[in-house]
Amino acid sequence: MNIVTDPKFAPPGSILSAEANQAAALATATATLTVDLDAVIANWRKLEKTAVPAECAGVVKANAYGCGAEQVARALSGAGCKTFFVATLDEAAVVRAAVPATAAIYVLDGFFQNSGEAYARINARPVIGDLNELAEWDVFCRRTGWAGGAAIHIDTGMNRLGLTIAEAQGIIPRINAGDHGITLVMSHLACAETLNHPLNAKQLATFREIASLFSGVPASLSNSSGCFLGAAFQFDLVRPGCALYGINPTPEADNPMQPVVEVKARIVQIRNIEKGDSVGYGGTWSARRPTRLAIVASGYADGYFRAGSSNDGTRGAEVIVAGKRCAVAGRISMDLMAIDVTDLDKSAVRRGHMVTLIGEGITVDELAHHFGTIGYEVLTSLGSRYARIYKGGAAEPTAKASGPAPVIPD
């Protein structure tokens, strides 16, 4: 087990061992977020097996969906993952420090003028989805001799990022001329989580046709859900993200992935209220009987959304207290929430005990349903106040990217 704490708060001159400091951090934490790296690896291996013979990459953007990009990337690299996707150059730098120098890191938000040196410094590859970006990247490569590679993103129906089909066709002569520096051609599915959505087949046909013109360049279309649409969608590389972290990539069926995240928060007070008393901001929830409340140290500042609140007409989200499901009482506030524990034995619920917000049967997807959103937003919103605990994933990559930065020719 590894507990990640902020070194800024370590007492000066501390003589405690690392183990003692970790134990102290856990003892004083008001909330914990546990990431099971072995489950991340198991999910990646399942996706890899599903995608064979395609390569299986790992999407670790947004701090690995809130789970810790450094820790997740290192664990995946140790398991055999060789290609990673992030959103920004800052994210790429974090991942580069955790994976071998030979690993490919693609930056989805693309290339900006004067960013070439930053890409070369960490040996990252831009995902280019605009002709202006491509021209700026070309200028940098010609000026410096940089040959680190880039992906071409083609829009096949998402209408977000990517070259149009006509624009992609226009650069085919460059591809056929060789020495083009394009290491991947990709697109992104808009509706892959809906098995029979007509846009899936339309995007597949469009991408298959245009990708075939990029002779010798590996192709990638599928995200997490796309991995389960069949072999035709998998091409040379699949790019799972949410499924790595336990979110259900097949919402029309049972979740094939292992849960990864457990979130707990501490009870800071037990209080009793009378029938008719209201709880929380706005007085929207009233006790229908003499009620015992556990006040828990987590709220919307920690990513437990206000939308999970309850009122006199609507039951809100639930948490696990002493092994039992108990409902939120009233509005969730910034740092606290009230939980109705009236039906539990008094001895089972005490100040200082931890309750489970995610885990013990409460999934990320269930919580997302209560919040009126998706699991992606739940995970990426988990706040910075949790003491983060990492289990498993002990395998270390055999080669580190700790050597000198690539040399950029003048």
| CB 233 within 8 Å of CB 221 | yes
Q: How many Å apart are CA 367 and CA 337, to the nearest integer?
A: 15
| CB 65 within 8 Å of CB 257 | no
- How many Cβ atoms from other residues are within 10 Å of residue 253's Cβ? 10
263: helix, strand or coil: strand
Active-site option among 46, 202, 281, 376 = 281
| Spatial CB neighbours of 384, under 8 Å, sequence gap ≥ 6 | none
386 in catalytic set? no
Burial of 42 (0-12, 13-18, 19+ CB in 10 A): middle
Question: Which of 158, 151, 153 is CA-nearest to residue 189?
Answer: 158
Q: How many Å apart are CA 117 and CA 111, to the nearest integer?
A: 11
**Cα 85 to Cα 12, 163, 172, distances in angstroms:** 38, 19, 25
Backbone angles phi, psi at 14, to 5 degrees: -60, 135
The rounded radius of gyration (Å) of the Cα atoms in the chain is 24
Q: How many Å apart are CA 173 and CA 372, to the nearest integer?
A: 47
Q: How many Å apart are CA 200 and CA 226, to the nearest integer?
A: 9
Active-site option among 46, 61, 245, 304 = 61
**What is the per-residue DSSP string for 309-329?**
--BTTB---EEEETTEEEEB-
**Cα 356 to Cα 12, 117, 181, 319, distances in angstroms:** 33, 46, 49, 6
Show which residues are catalytic. Answer: 61, 281
